[in-house]
Structures are given as C-alpha cells and as structure tokens.
Amino acid sequence: MGMTMSQKILAAHAGLSEVRAGQLIEASLDLVLGNDITTPVAINVMGDFQSDKVFDREKIALVMDHFVPNKDIKSAENCKCCREFAAKHGITNYFDVGRMGIEHALLPEEGLTVAGDLIIGADSHTCTYGALGAFSTGVGSTDMAAGMATGRAWFKVPEAVRFNITGEKKRFVSGKDLILHIIGKIGVDGALYRSMEFTGDGISGLSIDDRLTVANMAIEAGGKNGIFPVDDITEEYLREHGKRSYKVYEADSDAEYAEEYTIDLSELKPTVAYPHLPSNTRTIDEASEDHIKVDQAVIGSCTNGRISDLRAAAEILKGKKTAEGVRCIVIPGTQKIYLQALEEGLIRTFIEAGAIVSTPTCGPCLGGYMGILAAGEKCISTTNRNFVGRMGHVDSEIYLSSPAVAAASAVKGYISDPAEVM
C-alpha cells in the first residue's frame, strides 16, 4: 500500500522508508515556531529541561503578533522574555514591532516555509503551510520547547481524508468559502487527527492565498494538518519568496484514505458560519434572508489578511460608506502587505469608506484588543473561530465569512451578498 503526501514527508524526516497510519515516530524538524503568548511558556519549560542551547538558531522563528504593540504590562513582559531569549541565542528569525506580521502570513512571505518541510508551531493554525506542500501542525508549548532544544518531535502518523476539488469558482467565491463549506459538511471533528489532503483539477483555480486560507482552517475540522500538492502555481510562489531549496512529495496512486469527498467549486456560494461553531454554515442566500444586523466587521487575521483579501474588500468598499453604527476594522497581515495596500490606494479606500486600518496583529481574533465585543454585539469577521466569547463578551456573536462578504455587510449594516452591493 502506498503513502499519502503527509506520510511521505513524515517518513523522510524520520529516516524511514515508509510509515503507516497510527505509527509513532520521532522526526527531524525544519522549523519551530512560537509567538508572544506561547514562547514564554516554552522558554520556562526549557529551563525545566535544564537545556541552555537551541538546536539551530536559524530554524526557530519567534513572531510577536498576538498583543503587539503591547496592550498591557503582561504582554510587554511576555515580549521582553522572548526578545531576551532571541538575543541570548542569536535567533535569526525574530520578528517584533517594525519587522512584524501575523505569523502565518509572515513566514510564507519571508520564504521560511517551503514544500517538503516538517514544521511545528505552538499555535494551532500552524497547519497553514500545508498550502505550500509542507507538513505543518500545531503543538503545545512543551513540544515547542523540546523542538527548540533538540530539533526533533514525536508524531503519530495520521490517516488521511482526500478532498477532490473540481470545477471553477464563481465571482465572490474564495478559499474561505471552500473551507467553510467543507467544515459545514464534515463537522468540527470530521477530520479529527487526520491529514486533510486536497487534490483534483479544481486546485489550479485556487490561488496560493486561497490555499493558505483553506489549510489554515484545517484545524477547525479537527485536522492534524491540511496539505496541497505542489504545482506550477506553488513553485512560482516558492521561487519568488523561497530562500532555500525545497522538495516535492507526491501521494502514491494507491495511497489509502479513510474517507473521500468531492467538492465542485462551481456549485459553491459565498458562505457564512453562524455562532458558535465554524461548522454552523449557511449560504449567503440564506444569511441574507435572515437580515442579521452587525455592529462590527473585521477584515484581516492569519486566515484572510493577505493582499488579495484586502483587494477583495476594497473592491466592495470603494466609493461607498460603511453603514451607520458599524465599526469596520481592517488588519493587513504583515508590514509588506500594509505597504503594498498603501501603494495600491487600498488604505485610502478603507479610510474614506469609514473603516480604520490597524497595525498587523492577531488583535481581535482571539479577544485580545483592537475590536473587543460587548454583550449582545454581533461581528462579521474573516477570522477562523467563532466560539463563545472568542472576541469578547460571552453574550456576543461572531459570524465567519470571506473579506467580500464582510465588506458588503459593513456597507449594508447586515450580513449581505457582495453581488448586491457592487
């Protein structure tokens, strides 16, 4: 029996000719990632290990993004801890104010994640890099500490679910709508500890930004990772951004999959996830009929803060005004994206429409700052989670959508179809 893409990457990094689902292995790592929340915990754990060295200062990335610029004394102390650790060990890839970005938007942009890599990160959305043909997955801070100290981690080889993507997506349908549709179809535990492997001729119609969004939310279906095949679009991106060589792995024709689904992109519509689960999805037709008034719209995050996302939102907002009583918050994913948006005139479009533009930060996504919700408030958001209290008060509500839907909703004042606003 053959192996999937994920299994081949794990086998190669474990020094094995093959691996099977359920097998426990120890494998070498290409990158270990931490942020300003999870890294201080890992640093303390390394102290418990009595380890005073990192395995490779160039294979560790520390990104200050959740509460940066610091919102309070605790967040300032956390960043100080990370900053001092990075200086002590000469960490090459340390990103702070001025050189920062939301980690899962920043690392691909910096060329730190490439096809064939094995990556762990102390953040659940580390699965993002599967868009580039890497095996990447989130871990706890203890595993991050072990990874920083030894350059190795243990894994249980996941079984796989194959998603055969066909057809061509229509206007205003994006990678966000695809992954929300999938999560709505299989549930938040539909791929529990499984590799979500995307195949099919429809993938050629998905941009790298689309794929990054899909892979980013694999965890919202319970997935261990999400992964796309490496095609011409991927290789062009890697040539543009990559700073080192990469390796392409392909699934065997006789690879075993626990389940298989076929998704026709041409049948998809813009999709919205209602509170309080990403699986509670409805099409924009259904959502529009519900006429749900929103108090806030957030466009950004590690899921949808890339330049194509900002362009999609700006296309809707250009020449219009946000509805009275709606707070529209736009968060570019990185400084480079911010600058590009400025050069393209997108920032002017947002401000003239009545939105505000934030420094790159996770901010409101996890209820940190820059857009906390009060009791009873509703937010349409391009983020990845809409759990109870995720963005503020436990009696607030989050509706997940694409940037186009979020922007249209900001203009109308209630969840709306982008086609009705253009």
DSSP letters, 175-189, are HHHHHHHHHHHH-TT
Give the residue among 344, 325, 324 at the shortest CA–CA distance from 336: 344
Domain count across the chain = 2
Q: What is the CA 361 to chain-centroid distance, rounded?
A: 13
The CATH number for 370's domain is 3.30.499.10
Q: What is the pLDDT of residue 371?
A: 93
Mean pLDDT of the 322-337 span: 97
- Same-domain status, 239 and 296: no
Q: What is the pLDDT of residue 86?
A: 97
Residue 112 pLDDT class (50, 70, 90 cuts): very high
Residue 352 pLDDT class (50, 70, 90 cuts): very high
- Same-domain status, 334 and 243: no
- Same-domain status, 252 and 275: no
* Average pLDDT across the chain, whole number: 96
* Cβ atoms within 10 Å of 134's Cβ, excluding its own: 32
Q: Is the model's pLDDT at 16 over the cut of 80?
A: yes
Q: Is the model's pLDDT at 1 over the cut of 80?
A: no
Give the residue among 321, 281, 316 at the shortest CA–CA distance from 422: 316
Q: What is the pLDDT of residue 243?
A: 76
Q: What is the pLDDT of residue 240?
A: 93
Residue 33 pLDDT class (50, 70, 90 cuts): very high
- Same-domain status, 315 and 226: no
CA diameter of the chain = 62
Q: What is the pLDDT of residue 51?
A: 72
Q: Is the model's pLDDT at 89 over the cut of 80?
A: yes
Residue 88 pLDDT class (50, 70, 90 cuts): very high
Q: What is the pLDDT of residue 310?
A: 98
Q: Is the model's pLDDT at 266 over the cut of 80?
A: yes
Residue 48 pLDDT class (50, 70, 90 cuts): confident
SS3 107: helix
- Same-domain status, 89 and 226: yes
DSSP state of 196: E
Q: What is the pLDDT of residue 393?
A: 96
Q: What is the pLDDT of residue 50?
A: 73
- Same-domain status, 66 and 147: yes
Q: What is the CA 337 to chain-centroid distance, rounded?
A: 16
Mean pLDDT of the 244-255 span: 94
Percentage of the chain beyond pLDDT 90 is 95
- Same-domain status, 93 and 161: yes
Q: Which helix (H) or strand (E) holds 240?
A: helix 232-241
Residue 47 pLDDT class (50, 70, 90 cuts): confident
Of the three residues 264, 298, 330, the one that is the final residue of a domain is: 264
The end-to-end CA distance of the chain, in Å, is: 51
Mean pLDDT of the 129-150 span: 96
- Same-domain status, 176 and 281: no
291 Cβ neighbours under 8 A, 6+ residues apart: 414, 415
* Beta partners for residue 28, in sequence order: 152
- Same-domain status, 152 and 301: no
> What tokens were used for 151?
């350059």
Q: What is the pLDDT of residue 100?
A: 87
Give the residue among 170, 182, 174, 169 at the shortest CA–CA distance from 226: 182
Domain of 293, in residue numbers = 271-421
Residue 242 pLDDT class (50, 70, 90 cuts): confident
Q: Is the model's pLDDT at 350 over the cut of 90?
A: yes
Of the three residues 247, 264, 281, the one that is the final residue of a domain is: 264
- Same-domain status, 259 and 336: no
- Same-domain status, 33 and 167: yes
Asked if residues 177 and 267 have their Cβ atoms less than 8 Å apart, the reply is: no
Q: Which sign, positive or negative, has the C-alpha torsion 121, 131, 379, 327?
A: positive
Of the three residues 221, 241, 264, the one that is the final residue of a domain is: 264
Give the residue among 282, 230, 237 at the shortest CA–CA distance from 400: 282
- Same-domain status, 255 and 298: no
Mean pLDDT of the 301-323 span: 97
Q: Is the model's pLDDT at 49 over the cut of 90?
A: no
